[in-house]
Chain A
Amino acid sequence: MIVNRREALTGRVLLVLLMAITVVPFLSLFVTALHPSGTYPSGLSWPAQPHWGNFADAFRAAHMGELLMSSVLIVAGVVPVSLLLGTLAGFAFGHLRMPGHRVGFLIFVLGLTLPFEGIITPLYYQVRDMGLLNTRWAIILPLIGLFMPFSVLWMRAHFVTMPDDLSEAARIDGATTWQLFWRVHVPLARPALSSLAILLFLWTWNQFLLAIVLVDDPAKRTMAGALGAFQGQWGTDIPLLCAGSLLILAPTLAVFLIFQRRFVAALLQGSIKG
């Protein structure tokens, strides 16, 4: 590839600049979190005495332990079920292609661009009438439904690429459709499944609207919803708010940094398919 030096240099400068803009808000949050609680520090000033204790205070004030547990429970409710149902349906639409599969798939695709605000009002009354308001189920069940279009689409895209010969061979060996699915296709779908799992984890963890509407108790919400409540309660104390926000960010950031390769790949594919 022919690239001259000057272009490479501008490229580097630009990239560094873009990264700086991306990182500065995080830095500002961090520096502010170290100021004495209750003050209004200005800009990016390093405090005379960093108050590391703010993190401990915020941890206690936000009941971080409970929040983490709650988010984990919600993720544990949403992700496996979404994966299973999405795979089943994706397999049918992508591989079995039964009569009417096009229309069926289309109805799922229809939900893909649906803004959550579009159904939040009836959802509230429905969840209330089911007696699930203020339980984690109020977030889990609707989220499974709302993620279903994407899950089905994602898995169908995978199964469509699987050669039919594979199934024919298994059928000749006398495999039932279920065996074909469970023994042959699911193991092969592992990469697609793990990327989908990452995306669903992230979207569940960061879900805000459902959490604030359907669950009042922050300890039963997702992390993002809990952060909303934390802001509601401690928004008046900027350093503490910043410390709490960082703590609430920490788990996703950690998971992201550990699995960054998979994450980036999944997110890129995810937006292309979504």
Chain B
Amino acid sequence: MSLRSMRRPLWLALGCAGLMVAAACSAPGDSGEDGAAASTAAVATSCGSDPVTLKGYFETGFPVPKELANEFTKQFPNVKWDIREDQFAVITQNAPRVLADDPPDLMRLPQVSELVKDGLLKNLDGYAQAYGWDKWPASQLEQMRVGSNGQRGDGPLFAQGLNFSMTGVFYNKKLAAQIGMTEPPATLADLDALLQKAKDAGITPINQFNGGATGGLAFPLQNLMAAYGEPGPINDWIFQKPGATIDTPTNLQATKHLEKWIKAGYFASDINSQDYATMMSRFIGGKALFIFDGDWESGNLDKQMAGNAGFFLMPSAQPGGKRAAMSAPLTYGISAKAAHADCAAFFLNWVATNQKARDIDVSVGGSHPMGPSDAYMPPVKEGTVTAATLEAGATIGQDNGSMDFIANATGAIYAKSWTPQLQKLVAGQQTPEALLKSVQKDYESQVKG
């Protein structure tokens, strides 16, 4: 009945909507530049003594930042926290508008180039100078430096890490013993053999999250890429170096290898519907031999699977080949419009330099703290996963095999390209060739845009 009366002068009403447009016909958006600039302004290197409430936006499921925040308040009682938490995928979606319109003092950041281009992040060079961060090993901060065109790898510093993490393969020691795996595989062929053995023994060889908006197969894929090729070109691509491409012969080999694993049934059958937490809970419950994951879980695994979890770096395709791993700082930044930028920066420096904070980084987070190479290192118990992942960090340092994550190349590449493409690969709806071409095409349009 209601809509019935609409029949005649529809055009009339539409005309009215047209009028509304005419009334507001200046182009949307402003051209005023703000943020970004303030790098040279004098900075205060403390939180002062007045009460301060730092507004934080953290990632759910990772206790380190909160523990650090609590410890910080213990040492500096005038600083309180107002913390909001979301899953990483949600943070990625929200980052631009939260930074612009509801600026936090300290925020877990997704890929930073576009945020920097839009002037949403505070330039930290002033703090880097004041606190001497520029004397730390350059590789620690490299991924968070952004040039004026959005290219990463060098330029002013726009974020800081709470620690830096290392990825590789975690395994269940009990299940490994069942299939006779006594030492980590030395080559990719060894790994393939182990996967087949596990499958023959009725054990799920690999469990990996790949559902919803989070394509976790990017972990094994990038590890395979580094097993077949060099990490350098992959980093160039991630850092948006001109002319970089992901569609290279070795990457194609890697993608084909991943497809082989999928077709051979080495992954759990429902990975396309598994989120990260499901993967973790199943791995901890002994339902899979391997997962590809990072050392942020080391502390957790040492607690929940004490003595039963192991870690190794992805082996190279060549015997004795160099190893590489995704290794990235747990990136936190300060909004260009933050109310307490100085205090947030002081916190970031405290995290890297305070002994208690570094203890928390390792014992709760399982990852390597940021900071100068000769800084205090907390003792770690032999035989734990944490010890194994920290040691792996040293290997990667020697082999110069550190890479950023392919999901970090642009803000949208993970959600819009890698995730759907990898989900299609699992379902047999995409070929390795077309997968890389499609990702590269999206990448080019995003980098240009």
* A/B touching: CB–CB < 8 A: yes
A residues contacting B by CB (< 8 A) are: 38-40, 102-103, 105-107, 109-110, 112-113, 124-125, 128, 133-134, 153, 157, 216-217, 229, 232-237, 272-274
Report B8 CB to chain A, min CB distance, Å. Answer: 8
Q: Is the CB of A273 within 8 A of B1?
A: yes
Chain B, residues 1-25, CB within 8 Å of chain A (1/0): the string is 1110110011011001100000000
Q: Is B94 an interface residue (CB 8 A)?
A: yes
Chain B, residues 79-104, CB within 8 Å of chain A (1/0): the string is 00000111100100010011001100
Q: What residues of chain A lie closer than 8 Å to B3, measured between beta carbons?
A: 109, 112-113
Name 21 A/B residue pairs within 8 A (Cβ), A-sorted: A103-B9, A105-B5, A106-B6, A107-B13, A109-B3, A110-B6, A110-B10, A112-B2, A113-B3, A125-B28, A134-B101, A157-B1, A216-B84, A232-B60, A232-B87, A232-B90, A234-B60, A235-B87, A236-B276, A237-B277, A272-B1
Q: What residues of chain B lie closer than 8 Å to A124, measured between beta carbons?
A: 97
Q: Is the CB of B275 within 8 A of A235?
A: yes
Report B110 CB to chain A, min CB distance, Å. Answer: 15
- Are A233 and B85 CB-contacts (below 8 A) given A105-B5, A107-B13? yes
> When chains A and B are docked, how far (Å) is the Cα of A229 from the Cα of B277?
17
Considering only residues 312-359 of chain B, those with a C-beta below 8 Å from chain A are none
Q: What residues of chain B lie closer than 8 Å to A153, measured between beta carbons?
A: 2
Q: What residues of chain B lie closer than 8 Å to A112, measured between beta carbons?
A: 2-3
Q: What residues of chain B lie closer than 8 Å to A157, measured between beta carbons?
A: 1
Find the B residue at minimum CB distance from A134. B102
Report A274 CB to chain B, min CB distance, Å. Answer: 7
Q: Is the CB of B84 within 8 A of A217?
A: yes
Q: Is B281 an interface residue (CB 8 A)?
A: yes
Considering only residues 273-287 of chain B, those with a C-beta below 8 Å from chain A are 275-278, 281-282, 285
- Are A107 and B16 CB-contacts (below 8 A) given A216-B94, A272-B1, A274-B2? yes
Q: What residues of chain A lie closer than 8 Å to B85, measured between beta carbons?
A: 233
Q: Is the CB of B101 within 8 A of A128?
A: yes
Q: Is the CB of A109 within 8 A of B275?
A: no
Q: What residues of chain A lie closer than 8 Å to B94, measured between beta carbons?
A: 216
Q: Is the CB of A235 within 8 A of B2?
A: no
Q: Is B61 an interface residue (CB 8 A)?
A: yes
Report B269 CB to chain A, min CB distance, Å. Answer: 16
Q: What residues of chain A lie closer than 8 Å to B282, measured between beta carbons?
A: 40
Q: Which of A103, A113, A233 contacts B12 (CB 8 A)?
A: A103
Chain B, residues 180-223, CB within 8 Å of chain A (1/0): the string is 00000000000000000000000000000000000000000000
Q: Which of B5, B13, B90, B281 contacts A40 (CB 8 A)?
A: B281
Find the B residue at minimum CB distance from A149. B2
Q: Is the CB of A273 within 8 A of B5?
A: no
> When chains A and B are docked, how far (Å) is the Cα of A274 from the Cα of B3?
8
Q: How large is the interface on B (under 10, 10 to 19, 20 to 34, 35 or more residues)?
A: 20 to 34
- Are A216 and B102 CB-contacts (below 8 A) given A106-B9, A110-B6, A232-B60? yes
A to B contact number (C-beta, < 8 Å): 67
Q: Is the CB of B1 within 8 A of A233?
A: no
Which of B2, B5, B10, B281 has the largest number of chain A CB atoms within 10 A?
B2
Which of A105, A113, A124, A235 has the largest number of chain B CB atoms within 10 A?
A235
Q: What residues of chain B lie closer than 8 Å to A216, measured between beta carbons?
A: 84, 94, 98, 102
> When chains A and B are docked, how far (Å) is the Cα of A106 from the Cα of B281?
56
> When chains A and B are docked, how far (Å) is the Cα of A29 from the Cα of B58?
28
Closest 6 CB pairs of A and B: A236-B277, A110-B13, A233-B60, A232-B86, A232-B90, A107-B13
> When chains A and B are docked, how far (Å) is the Cα of A232 from the Cα of B98?
16
Q: Which of B16, B101, B102, B277 contacts A235 (CB 8 A)?
A: B277
Report A32 CB to chain B, min CB distance, Å. Answer: 14
Report B63 CB to chain A, min CB distance, Å. Answer: 13
Report A99 CB to chain B, min CB distance, Å. Answer: 15
Q: Is the CB of B5 within 8 A of A109?
A: yes
Q: What residues of chain B lie closer than 8 Å to A105, measured between beta carbons?
A: 5
Find the B residue at minimum CB distance from A113. B3
Q: What residues of chain B lie closer than 8 Å to A237, measured between beta carbons?
A: 277
Find the A residue at minimum CB distance from B287. A40
- Are A38 and B2 CB-contacts (below 8 A) given A107-B16, A232-B60, A235-B87? no
> When chains A and B are docked, how far (Å) is the Cα of A232 from the Cα of B87?
6
Q: Beyond the given A233-B60, A235-B87, A272-B1, please list 16 additional residue pairs across the A-B interface where CB-CB is below 8 A.
A: A106-B5, A106-B9, A107-B13, A109-B2, A110-B13, A112-B3, A125-B28, A133-B102, A134-B101, A216-B94, A216-B98, A236-B87, A236-B276, A236-B277, A237-B277, A273-B2
Find the B residue at minimum CB distance from A237. B277
Chain B, residues 92-121, CB within 8 Å of chain A (1/0): the string is 001001100110000000000000000000
Report A196 CB to chain B, min CB distance, Å. Answer: 14
Report A112 CB to chain B, min CB distance, Å. Answer: 6
> When chains A and B are docked, how far (Å) is the Cα of A46 from the Cα of B258?
40
Report B96 CB to chain A, min CB distance, Å. Answer: 12
- Are A233 and B13 CB-contacts (below 8 A) given A216-B94, A273-B1? no
Report B107 CB to chain A, min CB distance, Å. Answer: 12
Find the A residue at minimum CB distance from B282. A40
Q: What residues of chain A lie closer than 8 Å to B277, measured between beta carbons?
A: 235-237
Q: Is the CB of B281 within 8 A of A38?
A: yes
Q: What residues of chain B lie closer than 8 Å to A236, measured between beta carbons?
A: 60-61, 87, 275-277
Q: What residues of chain B lie closer than 8 Å to A110, measured between beta carbons?
A: 6, 10, 13, 17
- Are A106 and B2 CB-contacts (below 8 A) given A233-B60, A233-B86? no
> When chains A and B are docked, how far (Å) is the Cα of A92 from the Cα of B94?
43
> When chains A and B are docked, how far (Å) is the Cα of A105 from the Cα of B60?
48
Q: What residues of chain A lie closer than 8 Å to B101, measured between beta carbons?
A: 128, 133-134
Find the B residue at minimum CB distance from A121. B28
Q: What residues of chain B lie closer than 8 Å to A232, measured between beta carbons?
A: 60, 86-87, 90
> When chains A and B are docked, how far (Å) is the Cα of A217 from the Cα of B9?
43
> When chains A and B are docked, how far (Å) is the Cα of A4 from the Cα of B94?
61
Find the B residue at minimum CB distance from A150. B2
Report B447 CB to chain A, min CB distance, Å. Answer: 24
> When chains A and B are docked, how far (Å) is the Cα of A105 from the Cα of B90?
41
Report B14 CB to chain A, min CB distance, Å. Answer: 8
Chain B, residues 54-74, CB within 8 Å of chain A (1/0): the string is 000000110000000000000
> When chains A and B are docked, how far (Å) is the Cα of A90 from the Cα of B183?
79
Report A174 CB to chain B, min CB distance, Å. Answer: 34
